[in-house]
């Protein structure tokens, strides 16, 4: 157990819809990173938040957006869902160096 929780665990959406995924960081961790893990692939970096500000972004379109709250919990929002957005979405929290991963949210887009 890493102390990082994500909700929901599973989610099914229709193409074109919007989705919000949530991440609760390990206590005191002020940095959160989000990754997308498509089936059969390694996780890919989406973006990172540090003290409520975006602190780096991977090669994902603007319809992927995020928020970090004062308590350091975080949201990942995806608009205009596409079939290829089906994946396991992982968040990881960190304070100094090591990133601690949550169990993920599995999103299926039909």
Partner 1 sequence: AQSVTQLDSQVPVFEEAPVELRCNYSSSVSVYLFWYVQYPNQGLQLLLKYLSGSTLVESINGFEAEFNKSQTSFHLRKPSVHISDTAEYFCAVSEGGYSSASKIIFGSGTRLSIRP
Task: Please give the size of the binding site for partner 1, defined by CB under 8 A.
Answer: 30
Four-CA torsion 68, 74, 79, 82, nearest 10 degrees: 140
Contacting residue, 25, 78, 94, 107, with partner 1 by CB under 8 A: 94
| Contact indicator for 10, 17 with CB cutoff of 8 Å | no
The Cα 67–Cα 96 span in angstroms is 20
| Contact indicator for 98, 26 with CB cutoff of 8 Å | no
The answer to whether residue 87 forms part of the interface with partner 1 (CB under 8 A) is: no
Q: Which of residues 14-73 bind partner 1 (CB under 8 A)?
A: 29-31, 33, 35, 40-45, 48, 50, 55-56, 58
User: In the complex, which residues of this chain contact partner 1 (CB under 8 A)?
Assistant: 2, 4, 29-31, 33, 35, 40-45, 48, 50, 55-56, 58, 90, 92, 94-99, 101-104
């Amino acid at each position: 157990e890493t102390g990082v929780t994500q909700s929901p665990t599973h989610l099914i959406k229709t193409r074109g819809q919007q989705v919000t995924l949530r991440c609760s960081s390990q206590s005191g961790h002020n940095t959160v990173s989000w990754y997308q893990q498509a089936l059969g692939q390694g996780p890919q970096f989406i973006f990172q938040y540090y003290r409520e500000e975006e602190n780096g972004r991977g090669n994902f379109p603007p319809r992927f957006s995020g928020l970090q709250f004062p308590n350091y919990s975080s949201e990942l929002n995806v608009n205009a869902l596409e079939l290829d957005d089906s994946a396991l979405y992982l968040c990881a929290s960190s304070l100094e160096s090591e990133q601690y991963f949550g169990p993920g949210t599995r999103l299926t887009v039909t």
